[in-house]
Structure 1
Amino acid sequence: MKKNNITSLNYKDFVSESGQILGNEQWRCLAYFAHREGGGLSFYCLFADNKGDTKILSHYRDYYDVGNLVSSDISQLFVYEREISELYGVRFEGHPWLKPVRFPFNRQNIHSRIENYPFYDTTNPALHLVNVGPVHAGVIEPCAFRFICNGEKILHLEIALGYQHRGVEELIKTTNNRLRQICLAESIAGDSAVAHAVAMARLMNPATEQPHYVIALEMERIAMHLADIGALCMDVAYQLGQVACEALRTLVINTMQRWCGNRFGKGLIRAHGCHYPLTAELCEDIRAVLGEVIRRFKSVSHNILSTPTLLARFEEICVTTHQQAFQVGAVGMAARQAGLVRDGRMMNNAEFEPSIETSGDLMARLHLRIAEIEASYNIILTHLCPHVSEPPIYDFKLEPDSLLWGSVEGWRGEIVHVALTDSDGEIAQYKIYDPSFHNWIMLALSVRGAQISDFPVSNKSFNLSYCGNDL
């Protein structure tokens, strides 16, 4: 959309209109960010509903040391305001939790350091603190968890992120090499390489939807859901489920490798064209392998759901509610496991019905993955047919003086890429929203009142991305 076509409002109307939009559960915020313009800050807010309709509002202020708080009325925007404050120094008066999001290299307060993160504390002698991380056992990304506990019971969990910040948004903004940009998108989160690449491709070339996008996305979803179910089994010592799911995941990602040469789908998605055609032989390979995976997984999932010791660790454990999911702006699985309908696939397919659970517990998150594996298989069968694309081209301009975006339902949830362009069509600002940006708070809420021994399982059940948040 051309920037001069975006509705510009004063602050009062901006808050009122945003509140009316987000008060309707069918609508959600895709992006809310600020950009330095004319000596001040322009704020842009992008909304979408489940049917694919979108609205963009903007607000300009010529000062930005003190700001009015939007999230006091619209709680879904609280984490966006934390990010804006960190980048530009806007002090949103009355914000209850104005702490750093990721400690970016270009933050306003360069003296704010992750080593001095201001954890919530307590002086109550009956309570104790438990610190986990930022260095964890095994090959796992860094993140600091700080628990306040009463005995074995968790009263509060605070999660400090930012250890993996790489400056991806700035790297994309400061190069006009389209191949480099899409390769950077693939590297935002290795387990979502396809999804982030598709989001960027849709931003750069919204007019052309390549048929292989859907197939690659759903294969990525199946592979990661299998990995997560295996990890959940491992955390409750059900090794049969773990090794079975790992073997099935390997079949899926090896098929991806036969398609494009990379098990995670890197190199497959480009904005214009594709190097790797969907041949008739490849289609048959995908159909045969996934058919075998689904056949074997039905037996595995039946065993998982009929094992009493496993069920005892999942049912009514680490519960989140529909209201919590709505208030914090949860997306993807973190929303759907609590009954909140959030699925970007509905925007492109009016007949698509996402899998929904309502109990909000560990079992809901397990059930959701099981249901989505079969649903993804059926989606792939619907779209699977031979297709040959033209070779990719990288010499193209973006629409000048515009706000462009691309969104996709990754396996964790909705991924959104947004670009502001200048008069020459070059990127003036680039924003990335991984679902983990919204959903880390859901993990913290899920363990309130739970036993600290249940935290690792709940952490696995959300399986959020550290690098996806840190960028």
Structure 2
Amino acid sequence: MLTRELAQLGLDEWASACAQALDAGERMVSLFGRPASGQPDAADEVITTAVLLGGDGGLRLLRGRGRRGQSFLSLTARHPAAQMFERELWEQSGLVPEGHPWLKPVRYEGARQQCMAQHPFFKVRGQEVHEVGVGPIHASVIEPGHFRFMCHGEQVHHLEIQLGYQHRGVEALLLRRPPLSLTSLVESIAGDTSIAYAWGYCAAIEALCGAQSSPETDVVRGIALELERVAMHLASLTGLATDIAFLQGGATYGRLRTAVINATMRVCGSRFGRGWLRPGGVRFGITDALRQDLLATLAAFARDIAQVNDLMLSARSVQSRFRGVGAVTRKAAEDIGLVGLPARASGVAVDTRSSLPGRLYTTHPVATLTEDTGDCWARLKLRMREIDESVRWITNVLQSTELSNAAPAPATLGPLWHDTLCVSVREGFRGPVVQALETGPEGRLLHYKVQDPSLLNWFGLALAVRDNEISDFPICNKSFDLSYCGNDL
């Protein structure tokens, strides 16, 4: 979405307009703030932006203006899906959502970095209640995060997740380089989602330049994104099988993932797709030889994954371990604003490839798949089904689309338009990757907002663990398979 003229409401009026939109059933895609600029007396002023998705499938923006420390009526009490957005806005801009039921930092940015030990954890009181703290340093090779379990015996009453240990400063770093040379940095925001981030960034830059990529470029980018989706769902399935000691599944899913990422490497030289996409186009096209290679790889892959999926789903040990564990109801998923696969596993049909299809997914639609039970079993099955759908989609596109033997001609990129805001959304394997780029009077990047779907889904994991045994946490955690670095920007 691209806009050059957007009225700024007063902060209270803006909050009221956001509340009315949410009351009417619109879904909040993002909400963020930035320091006002361009006026000598605006140093303490903040521009707020809400990105909303309506029932008609279109994005719309609401923009407000307030002063640091100013309060507005919190949306969270009536619309819990806004809770993380408001906490981040408060932490980054100083605006206070009055009446927020659980206002605390998201990442401990800036001066708050030295205050993480004073995090106000929720307390469950009782003689037989005990707390179990895990992390931020973990026994396995994973990124830092602290999990505080409040338990009665083995049963978890509440889990609070504290992240923010990495302090990478991604958004600030993105403003220090020329806007056309950010691809390598954007690709590393969340390394397992390189293509989704790169495509969103490229699309935003092209829109800000008034350029449009070719249809063939869109096809190549779509193939790259679906290959990434297949590979990372396979990584999740590998972890789920390994966590319950179902070694046939763990070994086979790992082998199949290697086949997919090696196919990606044969196209672009990187198993994670890095360096494949660039503003204006792609560096590597899909030649006739690569087309045949991909089709043969996917045909062999489809046969093998069908067999291991049947083995996994029919095993009584797998069913016993996953069914009914870590359930999130549809209402809870809607209330807290889950996105991506965890939302769809709870019956919420949200997929921006369908609601915001763009040119590519309009021409080549992808099915929005859901499960109803919202438990680890549903998230397991849905990953299998989404892999099948991505393989079907890639195969259909490769067989039905004419592709040149050379990389598609890139679009011509001029200077970025001045005073323009562009919001880009791409459905990665975890959910919608949101990036908002705004230019100032001279066309220079004024603000770069990044939002990983994990930001909204970590609280869903906390709900999933409630009333389960603490030993169920590893499989609940892996069934969501969220990103630490995607959250800790």
Aligned partners of 2:151 and 2:438: how far apart in 1?
45
Q: Considering only aligned residues, what root-mean-square deviation do their CA atoms show, in Å?
A: 2.0
Deviations, residues 24-64 of structure 1 (Å, cap 9, x unaligned) = 55x42222111222341111111124654111111112453
Shift in CA distance, 442/417, structure 1 to aligned 2, threshold 3 Å: same
* Paired amino acid for 1:18: C
For 1:21-420, what aligned pairs fall within 5 Å after superposition? 21-25=21-25, 27-37=26-36, 38=42, 39-49=44-54, 52-104=57-109, 107=110, 109-110=111-112, 113-179=115-181, 181-206=182-207, 207-208=212-213, 210=217, 211-346=219-354, 347-348=356-357, 349=361, 351-384=365-398, 385=401, 386-387=403-404, 388-390=406-408, 396-420=414-438
* Paired amino acid for 1:228: S
* Paired amino acid for 2:465: V
Deviations, residues 209-267 of structure 1 (Å, cap 9, x unaligned) = 62211100100011111111111111111000000000000000001111111100000
Q: Which residue of 1 aligns with 2:8?
A: 8
SS of the equivalent of 1:79 reads: helix
Identity %: 36
Deviations, residues 294-335 of structure 1 (Å, cap 9, x unaligned) = 110000000001000110011111100111111111110111
Aligned partners of 1:276 and 1:379: how far apart in 2?
20
Deviations, residues 120-150 of structure 1 (Å, cap 9, x unaligned) = 2344222000001111122111100000000
How far 1:341 sits from its partner (Å)? 1.4
* Paired amino acid for 2:205: M
SS of the equivalent of 1:205 reads: helix
Matched, 1:422 2:440: yes
Q: Which residue of 2 aligns with 1:463?
A: 481
SS of the equivalent of 2:140 reads: coil
How far 1:383 sits from its partner (Å)? 2.2
Deviations, residues 2-29 of structure 1 (Å, cap 9, x unaligned) = 766224334454334323433455x422
Does the CA-based 8 Å contact 2:3-2:422 persist in structure 1?
A: no
Does the CA-based 8 Å contact 1:185-1:200 persist in structure 2?
A: yes
Does the CA-based 8 Å contact 1:50-1:343 persist in structure 2?
A: no
How far 1:430 sits from its partner (Å)? 0.7
* Paired amino acid for 2:160: E
Does the CA-based 8 Å contact 1:7-1:56 persist in structure 2?
A: no
* Paired amino acid for 1:8: Q
Does the CA-based 8 Å contact 2:49-2:62 persist in structure 1?
A: yes
Does the CA-based 8 Å contact 1:357-1:368 persist in structure 2?
A: yes
Shift in CA distance, 141/63, structure 1 to aligned 2, threshold 3 Å: closer
Aligned partners of 1:285 and 1:82: how far apart in 2?
48
SS of the equivalent of 1:29 reads: strand
Aligned partners of 2:22 and 2:235: how far apart in 1?
34
How far 1:154 sits from its partner (Å)? 0.1
Shift in CA distance, 371/3, structure 1 to aligned 2, threshold 3 Å: closer
Does the CA-based 8 Å contact 1:333-1:413 persist in structure 2?
A: yes
Q: Which residue of 1 aligns with 2:18?
A: 18
Aligned partners of 2:55 and 2:387: how far apart in 1?
22
Does the CA-based 8 Å contact 1:414-1:434 persist in structure 2?
A: yes
Q: Please, which moves more after superposition, 201-210 or 317-326?
A: 201-210
TM-score by length of 1: 0.94
SS of the equivalent of 1:5 reads: coil
Shift in CA distance, 267/79, structure 1 to aligned 2, threshold 3 Å: same
How far 1:390 sits from its partner (Å)? 4.9
Deviations, residues 253-285 of structure 1 (Å, cap 9, x unaligned) = 001111111100000011112221210100111
Q: Please, which moves more after superposition, 253-262 or 322-331?
A: 322-331
* Paired amino acid for 1:60: R
* Paired amino acid for 2:9: L
SS of the equivalent of 1:292 reads: helix
Show structure 2 runs of 5+ residues with no match. 37-41
Deviations, residues 152-194 of structure 1 (Å, cap 9, x unaligned) = 0000000000112311111111211522x11111001111011
* Paired amino acid for 1:185: V
Aligned partners of 1:113 and 1:199: how far apart in 2?
34
TM-score by length of 2: 0.91
Shift in CA distance, 399/72, structure 1 to aligned 2, threshold 3 Å: farther
* Paired amino acid for 1:168: V
Q: Which residue of 2 aligns with 1:442?
A: 460
Show structure 1 runs of 5+ residues with no match. none
Q: Please, which moves more after superposition, 16-25 or 50-59?
A: 16-25
Does the CA-based 8 Å contact 2:327-2:464 persist in structure 1?
A: yes
Does the CA-based 8 Å contact 2:187-2:274 persist in structure 1?
A: yes
Shift in CA distance, 339/135, structure 1 to aligned 2, threshold 3 Å: same
Deviations, residues 83-124 of structure 1 (Å, cap 9, x unaligned) = 1111122332221111111123xx3x4465323322223442
Shift in CA distance, 422/286, structure 1 to aligned 2, threshold 3 Å: same
SS of the equivalent of 1:86 reads: helix
* Paired amino acid for 2:371: E
Shift in CA distance, 216/4, structure 1 to aligned 2, threshold 3 Å: closer
Does the CA-based 8 Å contact 1:153-1:452 persist in structure 2?
A: yes
Aligned partners of 1:219 and 1:52: how far apart in 2?
26
Aligned partners of 1:277 and 1:380: how far apart in 2?
15
